Amino acid sequence: MTATLRDVAARCGTSIHTVSKVLGGKPGFAVDTRARVLAAAHALGYRPSAFARAVRSGRTGQIGLLSGTGAPSFHIPPSLLGGLVDGLQRHGLHLLPSRLPEPTLADGSALPSVLDCLHVDGVLVNYQFAVPPAMQAVLDKNALPALWLNTLREHDCVRPDDHGAGQQLATHLLALGHRRIAYVDQLHHGGPNDHYSAEHRRAGCAEALRAAGLELRCVVGFANEQGRAAAARALIIGPGRPTAVISYAGPALLPVWLAAMAAGMQVPRDLALATFEDEGIESLDGTPARAINPWSAVGRCAADEIVHRLRDGAARTAVTVPFTLLPGRCLPPPSGEPS
């Protein structure tokens, strides 16, 4: 049977009012009184009522995680989830995940009632592709503080610095002496469902090359197995072939690697490779340079930001979290290669 305040008061010989104040951390009680109350509560295994605490404080101690049910909008990297949980626990808060069908999220009229039913102090929004304007408008105007994850917004958002990561990889290859650098993008097709990272990673690479007076060669859309192989062969064989290739993600780099091997080239001696990868995932061996997506840090930062929103109430400027560069075993371009 769960111990109550009345049980604790009876055991230590004080009033329920005194027990409630002492266990609530209120000052003004004698040291021996406080010690008796705490000892009795410990002996009885007393646990405060979360419901009663929420009624008194007006806070539930829970932060919602709002996701859709479709594959893109539901996906959340495990290390991001771990970072969120760890970060919120540091503030004495708990994460309450909730999956809602996309039509519900997109329907501005239904969303306020959905948010009310969650019984949370704030909400983290994990909805990254083709975000409905009505949904954004409702969350921005709702009294419930909302913070967006991995989305391109100017405020109330935490995301990885994909643009900066592109600059990091390209700058690393430039420092090794590479001047003919190509970029392979398996996702970017210019449609409304593109994630912002597709453009930002490529743009970061291009910006680093422009600063060096060079131009990034970009190959877009390895749509299928046959197309990937043909595009990879065309990229690395013939005049003007690149000495280094950067890909949006590890899987897009694999056909380039296979084409190089088929052409009698050796990686990394004849071709330097670089890519972006999620924290905790390694799709290739340690040869390519890697920009590691900082999901754990994004989660912890998001936890801190939602706490600031709860405390201050004002919108927060978007925060970008830098990637970590792992140089791999990239080599300078082969001697005798034209610049």
Can you give the pLDDT at residue 338? 53
**169 and 199 part of one domain:** yes
Q: Is 78 domain-assigned?
A: yes
- The pairing of beta strand 146-149 with beta strand 157-160: parallel
Same domain, 108 and 225: no
Residues 156 and 304 in one domain: yes
CA distance 314 to 297: 23
225 and 170: one domain?
yes
Residues 283 and 199 in one domain: yes
Residue 32 confidence (pLDDT): 86
* Mean pLDDT of the chain, nearest integer: 83
Is the same domain home to 21 and 34?
Answer: yes
Q: Take residue 73 and report the two structure tokens written for it.
A: 């909008």
Kindly state whether residues 308 and 215 are assigned to the same domain.
no
Residues 164 and 293 sit within 8 Å (Cβ to Cβ): no
Average pLDDT over residues 154-165: 95
- Which tokens hold the place of 107? 């329907």
Q: What pLDDT score does 244 carry?
A: 95
Report pLDDT for 51: 46
pLDDT of 193 > 80? The answer is no
Q: What gap in Å lies between CA 28 and CA 303, rounded to an integer?
A: 34
Residue 22 φ/ψ, nearest 5 degrees: -65, -50
The CATH number given to whatever domain includes residue 265 is: 3.40.50.2300
Distance CA 15, CA 307 (A): 35
How long a stretch of residues is the chain? Answer: 339
217-220, strands of its sheet edge to edge: 217-220, 181-185, 244-247, 272-278, 289-293, 324-326
Q: Helices 196-211 and 162-175 meet at what angle, rounded to 10?
A: 30
- Same domain for 283 and 167, yes or no, is yes
Residue 72: C-alpha distances to residues 129, 150, 176, 294 (Å): 7, 12, 36, 19
Confidence of residue 186 (pLDDT cuts 50, 70, 90): low
Q: What is the model's pLDDT at position 183?
A: 93
Find the domain containing 36 and state its range: 5-48
Say yes or no to pLDDT of 57 above 50.
no
Q: Does residue 326 lie within any of the structural domains?
A: no
Confidence (pLDDT) at 130? 67
- pLDDT at 47 > cutoff 80: no
- Answer whether 221's CB lies under 8 Å from 186's CB: yes
Residue 160: its H or E element = strand 157-160
Tell me the pLDDT tens digit for each residue of 91-122.
889 998 887 776 666 666 667 666 777 778 88
76 assigned to some structural domain: yes
Q: Average pLDDT, stretch 305-321? A: 90
The Cα 85–Cα 88 span in angstroms is 5
Percent of the chain's residues with pLDDT above 70: 81
Tell me, what CATH number does 36's domain have?
1.10.260.40
One domain, residues 261 and 307: no
- Same domain membership, residue 134 and residue 12: no
Please report the pLDDT score of residue 204 as a whole number: 97
In the predicted model, is pLDDT for residue 339 greater than 80? no
Parallel/antiparallel/unpaired status of strands 272-278 and 122-126:
unpaired
pLDDT at 21: 81
Cα dihedral 105, 109, 111, 117 sign: negative
What's the mean pLDDT in 28-54?
A: 75
Q: Examine residue 268 and say whether the peptide bond preceding it is cis (omega within 30 degrees of 0).
A: yes
Q: What is the mean pLDDT of residues 220-226?
A: 65
- Beta-bridge partner residues of 66: 98, 125
Claim to verify: residue 96 and residue 147 sit in the same structural domain: yes
Angle 62-293-201 from CA coordinates, rounded to 5°: 120
Q: Residues 23, 35: contact at Cβ < 8 Å?
A: no
Task: Determine what percent of the chain is predicted with pLDDT higher than 90.
Answer: 35
The rounded distance, in Å, linking the Cα atoms of 184 and 231 is 10
Question: Which sign does the torsion angle of CA 120, 122, 128, 131 carry?
Answer: positive
Quick one: 199 and 269 in the same domain?
yes
pLDDT 10s digits, 8-39? 888 888 888 888 888 776 778 888 888 888 88
Is residue 279's pLDDT more than 90? no
Enclosing H/E stretch for 287 = none
Q: What type of residue sits at position 245?
A: V
pLDDT number for residue 55:
44
Q: The tokens 């590890």 sit on which residue?
A: 250
Please tell me the pTM assigned to this model: 0.79
Q: Is the pLDDT of residue 293 over 90?
A: yes
pLDDT single digits (tens) 227-266: 677 888 888 887 788 999 999 988 888 888 888 999 899 8
Please count the structural domains in the chain.
Answer: 3
Rounded to the nearest 5°, which phi and psi values hold at 137? -65, -40
Query: What is the band of 337 on the pLDDT scale with cuts at 50, 70, 90?
Result: low
Stronger pLDDT, 312 or 212, i.e. the higher one: 212
pLDDT at 54: 46
pLDDT at 174: 97
